[in-house]
Structure 1
Amino acid sequence: MLMSKIETLVDEGFRVSLIETAFFDGKFEIPHIDAPKDIVVPSGLVPFSRRQRSRDKQDFVCFYEHDVKFREILTHTEDYVEELKQYPGVISPDCSLYIDAPLCVQIASIYLNRAVGYYLSKQGIYVIPNIRWGDERTYTDELLGEKVAFQGVDKHSIVSIGTYGQIRTAESKRYFREGLIAMLDELEPKVVLVYGAMPDTIFHGLETITEFVQYPDWTTRMKQKNIMYKSSVEHI
């Protein structure tokens, strides 16, 4: 009885049932998301909480928003499989990796990202891994002996990153650029999707390394849509 309760508690927090058939990478055993056979570049990205506003469901569903808005996909992943199959694909969850959080918490967020992404891919959903790093312990191998932020992802494929809300201070910009350079060096992706701004202070000099495809954050996208609509009305 006690073991049953423990297994239930663990599964509620870390969704062990999602990765029963997964392969694991590194000493922390991060679930591995296999690269898709073909690279598909999304026509647009829609946040999970706004997915119903995707016109004809042509956007990939992403999770570049506050964690509370996509908590259900982490705790009840199975309940959303059939709905997510209506979209062309999904970006794996962008669980927050706060640079001032304990290392164990940062690693747990990387694990959940891959666990949910792995499960959805095994259900036949096209999944693009989201790459998120925290402080330098996650994107260098100086302390851990491995770059945990990049584990569970194949090289030479397509990945996604989000700058929205992540590069507000000089310190966060420094961490972001350092982690981005480390990711490009480690994974050598053919395509990198970028949700949010691409300031020169971060991306300068990196454009020749891979193909970056930028997407506006949802707020900016809606503002642009309203401006275009207003302009078309004024010309009627």
Structure 2
Amino acid sequence: MYRETRNYENIQIMRFPGEGKYDIPAINQTQFEQADFIGFNYAKSEKHPENKAVHFFLDDYQFNRVWTYPDRYIEMLRRFRYVLSPDFSLYTDFPMAMQIYNHYRKHWIARYWQESGIKVIPTICWSSSESFEWCFDGEPTQSVVAISSLGTQNSKERKKIFLEGYEEMIKRLDPAQIIFYGRVPEECKGNIVHIESFSEKFHKAEVAQW
């Protein structure tokens, strides 16, 4: 009885066929036209969601609840034109088990949203080159994808890791479009749609004042 009344990591809600060594749920291919992007932390108060896309390039604590209560946000997110898969962190200093768990959570939620009628754009994320063994499992090929450069350009080592992952993403996924949130390094090539981060917009506003 106890097991029947408990939801173990959302397994009781839905199971999806897995890809790769860790059975990562597969996200279906998506195409992108046009939308303005807002953070998940502003989604509830958005008055005109039909032309907006929701991103999760935020601190994890601001959206962990979409995993804890996966059905609570379905109706709200259905109103938006697109929703990016949640960007649970893959920090290089995280234990590998936690990184894989966060990758799995991202994919379970994204596939569950797709099954619920939400247009999901896959968010691609990696840590060190060791993550290449699994961090692209479940991602669609020749689809629009989303990435963020936040926190990756403030040291030579971090930028090197970011660019290695970017090249690996291009090679493995052959994305049709790349929604790029944050500053785009000149080394990054492809069909890039640049989305200014909050910090970029803030910096522009400061410059304009002077």
The question of a shared fold, defined as TM-score above 0.5 by the shorter chain, is answered with: yes
Residue equivalent to 2:122? 129
Q: CA deviation at 1:167?
A: 3.0
Aligned counterpart, 1:233: none
**1: distance between equivalents of 2:39 and 2:196?**
11
Match of 2:143 among 148, 151, 157: 157
Q: Are 2:110 and 1:117 aligned?
A: yes
Per-residue CA deviation, residues 123-162 of structure 1 (Å, 9 max, x unaligned), is 11100110111111111xxxxxxx3111111211111111
How far is the alpha carbon of 1:71 from its aligned partner? 1.4
Amino acid of the structure 1 residue aligned with 2:67: L
Deviation of 1:164 (Å): 1.7
Of residues 71, 80, 86, the one that matches 1:93 is: 86
Match of 2:155 among 144, 169, 189: 169
Q: Which one of 31, 36, 41 corresponds to residue 44 of structure 1?
A: 36
Structure 2, unaligned stretches of length 5 or more? Answer: none
Distance in 2 (alpha carbons) for counterparts of 1:41 and 1:131 = 19
Distance in 1 between residues matched to 2:145 and 2:203, nearest whole Å: 27
Where does structure 1 differ by over 6 angstroms across 4 or more consecutive aligned residues? 225-228
Q: Is contact 2:53–2:83 with CA below 8 Å preserved after alignment?
A: yes
Of residues 81-90 and 169-178 in structure 1, the stretch that sits farther from structure 2 once superposed is 169-178
Measure, in 1, the Cα distance between the counterparts of 2:56 and 2:38. Answer: 8
Q: 1:221 aligns with which of 195, 201, 206?
A: 201
CA deviation map 1:207-230 (0-9, x unaligned): 2xx3011101134336657988x8
The DSSP-based 3-state class of the residue aligned with 1:79 is coil
Structure (1 or 2) with the larger CA radius of gyration? 1
Tell me which of 187, 197, 201 is aligned to 2:183: 197
TM-score by length of 1: 0.80
Contact 1:150 / 1:183 at 8 angstroms: preserved in 2?
Answer: yes
Q: Deviations over 1:80-107 (max 9, x none)?
A: 0111111101000000001011111111
Name the structure with the higher helix share. Answer: 1
Rate the CA distance shift 1:197–1:148 in 2: closer, same or farther, 3 A.
Answer: same
Verify the 8 A CA contact 1:117 1:127 in the aligned structure 2.
yes
Q: Residues 198 and 157 (structure 1 numbering): CA distance in 2 closer, same or farther, change over 3 Å? A: same
1:28 partner amino acid: Y
Number of positions where the alignment pairs a residue of Structure 1 with one of Structure 2: 209
Decide which moves more: 50-59 or 25-34: 50-59
- For the residue of structure 2 that corresponds to 1:182, the secondary structure is helix
Structure 2 residue identity aligned to 1:41: E
Given candidates 11, 15, 24, the residue that maps to 2:18 is 24
What is the alpha-carbon distance in structure 2 between the residues aligned to residue 54 and residue 221 of structure 1? Answer: 19
Over the aligned positions, Cα root-mean-square deviation in angstroms equals 2.3
- Identity among equivalent pairs (%): 25
Give, as a single letter, the amino acid of the residue that structure 1 aligns with 2:48. Answer: D
> What is the correspondence of 1:49-68 to structure 2 with a 5 Å cutoff?
49-52=41-44, 54=46, 56-57=48-49, 58-68=51-61
Task: Find the aligned partners of 1:170 and 1:18 in 2 and give their Cα distance.
Answer: 43
Question: Retained in 2: the 8 A contact 1:158–1:192?
Answer: yes
Contact 1:74 1:116 in 2 (8 A): yes
Q: Which runs of 5+ in 1 are unaligned?
A: 140-146, 231-236
